[in-house]
Every structure is written in C-alpha cells, then in structure tokens.
Amino acid sequence: MIFIDTNIFIRFFVCDGSEENENVEKFFNKVVSGNDRYMTSTMVIAEIAWVLEKYYKMDKKNVCENIRLILDTPNIQIKEKQLLYDAAEIFYKQNIDFIDAYNYTYALKSSASGIISYDRHFDKLALLKRTEP
C-alpha cells in the first residue's frame, strides 16, 4: 500500500494546466483503474479542506465535493471514512470549520456526553452541549 500526501490531491483539484496537474490526473486514472492499493489519512483530508478553503478561496460546496471525491475513489483506503463524510456534511451546512466539524463528529460517534470549548460555534450543533472550563 502506498500513501498519498496532501499536495498530490491539491494539485489535482487546482487544475491549473501545469505539468504537475497533468501528471496527477494520469496518476489518479491509474489509481482508479489499476490493481495497486493506496491510502491517505484523516489529517490529509483536514489539510486539504483548509488549503482549498483558506488558500485557494474555494467555497464550502466545492471543498466538500472534493473531499467526497477522495472518499469515493476506488483503491484509496482511508480510516474513519464515514466520520469524514459526516464531518464534511456538518462543515458544509454550518458556519464551522472542517476541523471543528470533525471533532464534533468524532465526539458524537465516541459517545461523548459534551464538549468543553471556548468555541461558541459548537452551540449551533444540538446533539452535544458545549461548556467552558
């Protein structure tokens, strides 16, 4: 199994016509149609969300579509896949960043009884009550 890093996905999503972009398009065609197995991590997905939104100023809808594209790509294994789908959905629907959407989803799936945080945007998410220390 071969690990795929953040910059490979970013180069694919940016579509700037560069040689790197062409190379990663060919690479992902090989990933989808080939017999090799690949993997990436939750941290890579989080970094992708941040870079696309903050650096490339991509709107949340497109960021989420790109995350789902990765999660749906054959031959790429990602632990916590369902958690990332859920986090992307919360990220898209709420005024909350991807990392906090992931943390909320993680806490919820882990049967946490609440969230201790100063981030008031957790108050919008009804299933876990936010408190401050």
Q: What is the pLDDT of residues 76-103, one digit of tens each?
A: 999 999 999 999 999 999 989 999 999 9
* Nearest one of 22, 25, 31, 23 to 3, comparing CA atoms: 31
Domains parsed from the chain with CATH numbers:
2-79 (3.40.50.1010), 96-133 (no CATH)
Q: How many CA atoms lie within 13 A of 41 on its CB side?
A: 7
Whole-model pTM: value is 0.89
pLDDT at 21: 85
* Nearest one of 108, 109, 56, 61 to 122, comparing CA atoms: 108
